[in-house]
Amino acid sequence: MSTLTESVKPLSYITEDEQMLREASADFARTVIAPHVHEMDEQAKLKPEIIKAFFEQGLMGIDIPEEYDGGGGNFFMSILAIEEVSKVDASASVFMDVQNTLVNNAFVNFANEEMKKKYLPQLAMEKVGAYALSEAGSGSDAFALKARAEKKGDEYILNGNKLWITNGAEAEIFLVFANINPEAGYKGITGFVVEKDFEGFSVGKKEDKLGIRASSTTEIILEDCRVPAENVIGEVGKGYKIAIETLNEGRIGIGAQMIGIAQGAFDAAIAYSKERKQFGKPISAFQGLQFQLAKMAVDIECARHLVYNAARLKMNGQPFLKEAAMAKYYASEVAERVASQAVEVFGGYGFVKEYPVEKYFRDSKIGKIYEGTSNMQLQTIAKLILS
């Protein structure tokens, strides 16, 4: 009999290599991450040995080409791995999600060859990356950013503050967006590769969050930060293009995270419903609960197909903007709904930290907020279906 859980059984549209990574990611999450989830959530910090293990497992550079020491996989593999890790811990999954779907993708798609050779092996093997776009007054309106860059000789001088930066506490390589020509509006935005030890760069306040607590979310401070001119990623004034395209891809990653959360909460609810007895029989024997569990299963499967479809479209070079927005929107709705229902399946036990579902519920809420709020996804969908 197979040792795989129901949620890791092979699917007809997953290749053998993709399934192997999927199973390896699930095993890594269960054996390496799971024993530390509660402690990391309480301490609001990923354990250093788990960060190291992510690199050793090859999960920080899944679709970085082999010539740059990466896994040589594809975007869909990253999505599968994110989903499997999210079933165990969403904090750990977003740590690898940002690395794969935002940072690595930006380097692969926009960096010149010299920059790829310098940074991609580091990102694949040992160094954490972060994506610094958001600011206090620049969230959904991402191009309203106030950070500035001024060319001086063979350097750019960056000034400003970034907020809500995932992996800010652990990262050593940052993609920072600043405007070199405010009069040009978004056409002045430029992307820079900033290393943590660059003069004028510092990590500020770490946020104390409701969910995904072990994932660091920090402020980034740029005070006359000196960045070599060759560290411009892509073209000067074309940072908006990098930001748009990477965030579109990143939303599929968040969708994967959300279906992982939903599946993890659902698996816990199923197991508990078979163990918990009331009125002389397991609560899973009551039709009222059976119908609730059935609807949860339908929701998860629908969300999974949306996410997988968007990932396949992206991977095959097909238009995917609408599908990515749909996947992110619906998966975040499902994660919150399923996790909430899972708490109710557990009853009073679902409300205490001794059991896992309260954490799934807390972790699910961020899905409607980061990398584009639900309203922004609906706006994108509406625009595309009406065009």
Tokens 């690199």, located at residue: 55
pLDDT for position 183: 94
pLDDT for position 306: 97
pLDDT for position 139: 85
pLDDT for position 11: 66
Residues 66 and 274: their CA atoms lie apart, in Å, by 46
Amino acid at 188: G
217 contacts 272 by C-beta, under 8 angstroms: no
| Per-residue pLDDT reduced to its tens digit, 343-368 | 999 999 999 999 999 999 999 999 99
Indicate which residue of 84, 219, 358, 371 is catalytic: 371
Q: Which CATH number fits domain 241-386: 2.40.37.20, 2.60.40.10, 3.40.1390.10, 1.20.140.10?
A: 1.20.140.10
pLDDT for position 3: 39
Give which of 307, 270, 329 is closest to 80, Cα–Cα: 307
Given a cut of 70, the residues of the chain with pLDDT beneath it are: 1-12
Distances (CA, A) of 245 to 166, 274, 362: 18, 45, 29
pLDDT for position 8: 62
Residues 254 and 367: their CA atoms lie apart, in Å, by 7
pLDDT for position 10: 63
Counting beta carbons within 10 angstroms of the beta carbon of residue 318, is it exposed (0 to 12), middle (13 to 18) or buried (19 or more)?
exposed
* CATH placement of domain 130-237: 2.40.110.10
Q: Pull the structure tokens for residue 198.
A: 């660059």
Question: Can you give the three-state secondary structure of the chain, one letter per residue?
Answer: CCCCCHHHCCCCCCCHHHHHHHHHHHHHHHHHHHHHHHHHHHHCCCCHHHHHHHHHCCCCCCCCCHHHCCCCCCHHHHHHHHHHHHCCCHHHHHHHHHHHHHHHHHHHHHCCHHHHHHHHHHHHHCCCEEEECCECCECCCHHHCCCEEEEECCEEEEEEEEEEEECCCCCCEEEEEEECCHHHHHHHEEEEEEECCCCCEEEEEECCCCCCCCCCEEEEEEEEEEEEHHHEECCCCCHHHHHHHHHHHHHHHHHHHHHHHHHHHHHHHHHHHHHCEECCEEHHHCHHHHHHHHHHHHHHHHHHHHHHHHHHHHHCCCCCHHHHHHHHHHHHHHHHHHHHHHHHHHHHHHHCCCCCHHHHHHHHHHHHCCCCCHHHHHHHHHHHHHC
Amino acid at 367: G
| Whole-prediction pTM | 0.96
Does 323 qualify as catalytic in the annotation? no
* CATH placement of domain 6-127: 1.10.540.10
pLDDT for position 333: 98
| Per-residue pLDDT reduced to its tens digit, 57-93 | 999 999 999 999 999 999 999 999 999 999 999 999 9
pLDDT for position 193: 98
pLDDT for position 1: 29
Q: Domain boundaries in the chain?
A: 6-127, 130-237, 241-386
pLDDT for position 318: 96
